[in-house]
């Protein structure tokens, strides 16, 4: 009898322990060790919506998140139109991480309340390919036309929401793999984006992952580090405001600095910075308010 009770108690403790471990792991996966986002007292909260639509590029229904700023319903009903800030996640990653770990929604609410950034729509495409890593490079490869998918999202947002639908009022940003993609896609589509941001990005690809069977020409076309010197004429016609940053403990920090120099030499208006930290959400979360302000300050600039 005593032995049975001891076994039952041990099983109960084990169940509680396993539940606690699972809960902690789930919480960490969602928030990456940060507290859940919460607006400061007196700051009006924006609204997060999930939008589903059919992507012609991928031939299937896809989704994106869109964060609507405070007073969106009232102001849009009066005819207000908004600039749009598109943010691409890394690998592995998800759109939700920018809000849960990156605190982006709270940062936007706070900046708008303090008149340090203009109200904007923030759009988070979901680039998942169904696997954990979702290693697509957000590029057009045999793995899928993920670069064109980003453009599908832009067109869908312009149809559904009151945007200021021109390049001077669109920014494209991302972290890690999403940072690479933000640069690559923006430079491929200068008619669409006038602002780009790279949060700990890289600027060339190799014959691996989705580019495993790519030709040398495809690798060149998707390596901004190689093709940016040939964009002088394009960047003169369609200037770009760019912010590139990395952490002082990031092993690729010199490569980021070198690319920032090349991009500036080609004619872009480039801000480059190295901040304390490494390739992690601690760095990206801390610098998110600055990235929102950079986009806000440059929306509409010629």
pLDDT surpassing 80 at residue 19:
no
pLDDT confidence band for 20 (50 / 70 / 90): low
pLDDT confidence band for 14 (50 / 70 / 90): low
How far is residue 139's CA from residue 149's CA, in Å, rounded to a whole number?
A: 9
pLDDT in tens, 95-114: 999 999 999 999 999 999 99
**Average confidence score pLDDT of the chain:** 93
pLDDT at 32: 87
Q: What is the mean pLDDT of residues 51-72?
A: 98
Q: Where are the beta strands (DSSP E) in the chain?
A: 47-55, 60-68, 84-88, 121-125, 140-141, 144-145, 170-174, 195-199, 241-247, 269-275
180 and 204 in contact (C-beta within 8 Å)? no
pLDDT confidence band for 255 (50 / 70 / 90): very high
pLDDT at 9: 54
How far is residue 298's CA from residue 302's CA, in Å, rounded to a whole number?
A: 9
pLDDT surpassing 60 at residue 24:
no
Q: What is the largest CA-CA distance in the chain?
A: 86
pLDDT at 233: 98
Q: What is the DSSP string of 125-172?
A: E----SSSS---TTSEETTEEHHHHHHHHHHHHHHHS-B--SGGGEEE
pLDDT surpassing 70 at residue 288:
yes
pLDDT surpassing 80 at residue 22:
no
pLDDT at 68: 98
How far is residue 184's CA from residue 221's CA, in Å, rounded to a whole number?
A: 9
pLDDT surpassing 80 at residue 10:
no
pLDDT at 6: 61
pLDDT surpassing 50 at residue 7:
yes
pLDDT surpassing 50 at residue 126:
yes
Q: What is the mean pLDDT of residues 209-232?
A: 97
How buried is 233 (Cβ within 10 angstroms: 0-12 exposed, 13-18 middle, 19+ buried)?
A: exposed
Q: What is the mean pLDDT of residues 130-153?
A: 95
pLDDT surpassing 70 at residue 175:
yes
pLDDT confidence band for 47 (50 / 70 / 90): very high
113 and 42 in contact (C-beta within 8 Å)? yes
Q: What is the mean pLDDT of residues 27-53?
A: 93
Whole-number percent of the chain with pLDDT over 70: 91
pLDDT confidence band for 187 (50 / 70 / 90): very high
pLDDT at 21: 46
- Residue 124's contacts (CB-CB under 8 Å, 6 or more residues apart) are 64, 65, 66, 67, 86, 87, 89, 95, 96, 98, 99
- Integer-rounded Cα Rg, in Å, for the chain is 21
């Amino acid at each position: 009898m005593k032995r049975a009770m001891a076994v039952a108690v041990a099983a109960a403790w084990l169940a509680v322990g396993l539940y606690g471990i699972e809960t902690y792991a789930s919480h960490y996966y969602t928030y990456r060790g940060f507290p859940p986002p919460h607006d400061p007292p007196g700051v009006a909260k924006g609204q997060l919506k999930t939008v589903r639509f059919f992507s012609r590029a991928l031939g299937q229904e896809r989704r994106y998140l869109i964060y609507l700023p405070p007073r969106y319903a009232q102001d849009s009903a009066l005819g207000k139109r908004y600039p749009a800030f598109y943010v691409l996640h890394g690998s592995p990653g998800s759109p939700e991480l920018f809000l849960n770990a990156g605190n982006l929604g709270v940062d936007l609410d706070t900046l708008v309340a303090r008149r340090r950034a203009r109200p904007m729509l923030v759009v988070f495409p979901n680039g998942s390919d169904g696997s954990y890593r979702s290693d697509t490079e957000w590029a057009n490869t045999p793995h899928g036309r993920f670069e064109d998918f980003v453009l599908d999202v832009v067109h869908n947002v312009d149809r559904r929401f009151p945007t200021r639908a021109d390049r001077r009022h669109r920014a494209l940003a991302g972290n890690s793999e999403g940072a690479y993609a933000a640069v690559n896609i923006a430079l491929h589509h200068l008619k669409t984006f006038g602002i780009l941001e790279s949060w700990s990005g890289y600027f060339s690809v190799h014959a691996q992952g989705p580019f495993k069977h790519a030709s040398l020409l495809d690798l060149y076309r998707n390596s901004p580090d190689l093709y940016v010197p040939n964009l002088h004429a394009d960047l003169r016609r369609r200037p770009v405001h760019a912010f590139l940053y990395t952490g002082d403990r990031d092993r690729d920090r010199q490569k980021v600095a070198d690319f920032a120099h090349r991009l500036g030499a080609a004619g872009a208006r480039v801000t480059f910075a190295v901040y304390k930290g490494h390739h992690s959400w601690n760095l990206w979360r801390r610098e998110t308010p600055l990235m929102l302000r950079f986009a806000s300050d440059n929306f509409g600039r010629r």
